[in-house]
Structure 1
Amino acid sequence: MKVWEALLRIPAGAVSTYSHIASSIGQPKAQRAVGTAIGSNPVAFLIPCHRVIQSTGKLGGYHWGETRKSAIVGWEMAGGLKS
């Protein structure tokens, strides 16, 4: 729940990293657990797991594929969703 709450604080058009999310919930070494929590998100567009990328800048995995993740992030960055 803490991970999903942290995801809700990422504004539309912005991205964060697994390590930043882990730090924001007080568990700076829990990047893998953050990834697991994000991967188990049952309502992916409502809980914006697509806004989390790898620290290298790569998009990383997404249940519906990296192409869709890229499209959603791009759409939000272009102003397609105002939060």
Structure 2
Amino acid sequence: MSLAEKVYLKLREVPRGKVTTYKWLAEVAGSKGYRLVGQILKRNPDAPRTPCHRVVSSNGKIGGFGGERSGKRIEEKIRMLEQEGVEVEKGVIDLEQYGFDFKE
């Protein structure tokens, strides 16, 4: 199984109302390539079934979405997360409250 396939498979485990980080997702997929995970998600062939909007930076910041780091796509990511019950405060998510690190 390729790294991309592992990333997409594991990402599908993240439930509504939770987020994971590029780092956690890379680790659970067996990689240290956190940035590579971002590149893989940019090419997500199965959105929204594979919910790449639920992946954020390790510091809780929104990160990118669909290859963008600002603009309408980021606003769309925030809106999607808020519709799932995730609170976004000044572009940051509280990972203590909303983080899903695959150990749950």
Same fold (TM over 0.5): yes
Alignment of 1:61-80 (within 5 A): 61-63=64-66, 65-77=73-85
Cα shift readout 1:14-63 (whole Å, capped 9, x = no counterpart) = 00000000111111x11011111111002321110000000111111112
Per the alignment, in what secondary structure is the counterpart of residue 65 of structure 1? helix
Alignment of 1:3 onto 2:7 = yes
Q: Aligned to 1:16, which of 5, 20, 41?
A: 20
Rounded to whole Å, the distance in 1 between the matches of 2:45 and 2:9 is: 14
Report the AA paired with residue 15 of structure 1.
V
TM-score (norm 2): 0.69
Give the share of equivalent positions with the same residue, in percent.
Answer: 38
Question: Whose Rg is larger?
Answer: 2
Pairwise CA RMSD = 1.3
Query: Unpaired runs of 5+ in structure 1?
Result: 79-83
TM-score (norm 1): 0.85
Rounded to whole Å, the distance in 2 between the matches of 1:5 and 1:43 is: 11
